[in-house]
A and B are shown apart, each in its own frame.
Chain A
């Protein structure tokens, strides 16, 4: 018996922070079940780094024909690894690719699946895990009753926990089925922090008046190493790309720090950013609902506060470099 984690890597073979988070989480569940942790990787180049987070055994698939993500093929590899390792729990990151492949794995293993889990199981028998529901307005405690359980982990909900073990990496050669889905082209902005990966997100709303005023938002984001985001009307008005729209009907944000500038704090906006750990609001209107949801707030005009904040942070960075 074992717990199997799938740790995704980038097309360059590097792990993201969230791969270490799912590994840490898997280690904890393996301890709860008094069993071993096995981590599956595909074309990863730094498998040793997973030993730091409790991976006793790493199964690495290295295949040149697997350089781009394919949900069905990856799901089939995860299934084969789960069977080989007699996995009772399979853990997959609830990120955009993980959410794509996990339901396929669940059907292939005839397993119950709980996505967006936020804690370790409160009990392993019955197997019950707390997960996000109602677009971050609540949680449900979900019991999985099948022999194999699939758990999707929500970003930044467990954290990266060091737990050095002496691990080994084995080559794994599963059967690779041909995919029927052809990738025609990929458009990706490189060098920019994405909302999904960011530890800090700087977000602007209609209070910024127009697209020409986003220079200071981008500058603030650059200093903080943050991703930029916006409220829904801002992307609807075409001030910012749709990919930056966050909220209940946009992208979810689960960063450590979320800075909202000129955003009123409508329920649909807050639903998408609730899981961010620390929230800062900057708004001229002290009555704006965002102040009820935020940890820190400045009542003030963004056009004064943001340039000052940029200057202050430059100073701070220089002193703390």
Chain B
């Protein structure tokens, strides 16, 4: 079983978000970058398949050289090899094309990704990868089992979940549930030492047009101060007459 895990490199959840150059660039000053939280669930599930079912695990990132520490962290967690496609990730469609090229060359049975990157919240790369490769695709995945050529998948739906099954190859976009949070793997010393010796291959992108681009950013309008209310009568009154929400 060959697994490819797509790792996006994103600002840590506690980061203060700021922009520079007249709100046209993301200001990475003082920002700590991490493996996208949803991708951590995917990676940990991949490690489980490695330990229990003998899978080999490759991680891939589309990005410039600054993302390499994130890929090294994935290697330290236990991935066997890493691939970085050397181009700025600007448009989800272009990122998906690059990942599908890597996948075509690698003959992967399972491509695991997160349901969205917490930076641009596009939620688009995995579905696009699957469609470009003509693989089966399940989004919002909260459970995955593989037996032979068959995948059984739980998917979150509005107000519940559904159980699906299909054949490999498959692309999965996952979230919590794929593994539990307490089971998330963190690198240990031995893993970190070993990661240094594992291959991290840099490949050049295919010639790729951008379908979307960001020309500027905005921050939410400053909020007016919170009205402190003394009692519930006043609260109900304000919610009804002022906010008009009840």
Contact = CB atoms under 8 A, between A and B. Distances in A.
Contacts of B231: 298, 308
B136 interface: yes
Interface in B99-118: 115, 118
Given A100-B127, A104-B131, A249-B13, A182 B164 contact: yes
B227 interface: yes
B161 A187 contact: yes
A132 B212 contact: no
B128 A184 contact: no
A44 interface: no
A166 interface: no
A277 to B, nearest CB: 7
Contact of A184 (B138, B152, B213, B240): B152
Given A96-B156, A141-B217, A187-B161, A280 B239 contact: yes
Q: Which of B14, B91, B125, B159 lies at the interface centre, i.e. has the most chain A CB atoms within 10 A of its CB? A: B159
Main secondary structure of the interface of B (DSSP, over half): mixed
B211 A197 contact: no
B22 interface: no
Nearest to A232: B181
Interface stretch (B71-79, B190-198, B218-226): B218-226
B243 A257 contact: yes
A284 interface: no
Contacts of A95: 158
Nearest to A293: B223
A274 interface: yes
Contact of B164 (A132, A183, A199, A268): A183
Interface in B32-65: 37-38
Given A180-B166, A242-B176, A224 B246 contact: yes
A194 B13 contact: no
A277 B218 CA distance: 18
Contacts of A142: 212-214
Interface stretch (A35-43, A50-58, A112-120, A207-215): A112-120
A312 interface: yes
Interface residues of B, number: 77
> How extensive is the interface on chain A, given as a class?
35 or more
A130 interface: yes
A140 B211 contact: no
B239 A181 contact: no
Contacts of B166: 180-182
Contacts of B189: none
Interface stretch (A24-32, A143-151, A157-165, A167-175): A143-151
Nearest to B212: A112
Q: Which of B217, B224, B229, B235 lies at the interface centre, i.e. has the most chain A CB atoms within 10 A of its CB? A: B235
Given A103-B128, A141-B216, A313 B236 contact: yes
B92 interface: yes
A17 interface: no
A130 B17 contact: no
A242 B177 contact: yes
Q: Which of A102, A107, A305 lies at the interface centre, i.e. has the most chain B CB atoms within 10 A of its CB? A: A107
A278 B243 contact: yes
A259 B167 CA distance: 44
Q: Which of B96, B162, B230 lies at the interface centre, i.e. has the most chain A CB atoms within 10 A of its CB? A: B162
B212 A145 contact: yes
B130 to A, nearest CB: 7
A100 B159 CA distance: 16
A135 interface: yes
Contacts of A128: 215
B139 A295 contact: no
B88 interface: no
Nearest to A135: B118
A130 B125 CA distance: 19
Nearest to A134: B17
16 contacts: A75-B131, A103-B92, A106-B124, A114-B212, A115-B121, A130-B218, A134-B120, A138-B217, A181-B136, A188-B159, A224-B246, A249-B37, A297-B228, A308-B231, A312-B235, A316-B240
Interface of A: 69, 71-72, 75, 94-97, 99-104, 106-108, 111-116, 128, 130, 132-146, 180-190, 192, 194, 196-197, 199-200, 224, 236, 242-243, 245, 248-250, 256-257, 267-268, 271, 274, 277-278, 280-281, 286, 291-299, 305, 308-309, 312-313, 316, 320
Given A100-B127, A140-B214, A181-B166, 9 more contacts: A103-B131, A113-B92, A134-B11, A135-B13, A140-B120, A184-B152, A268-B14, A280-B235, A292-B223
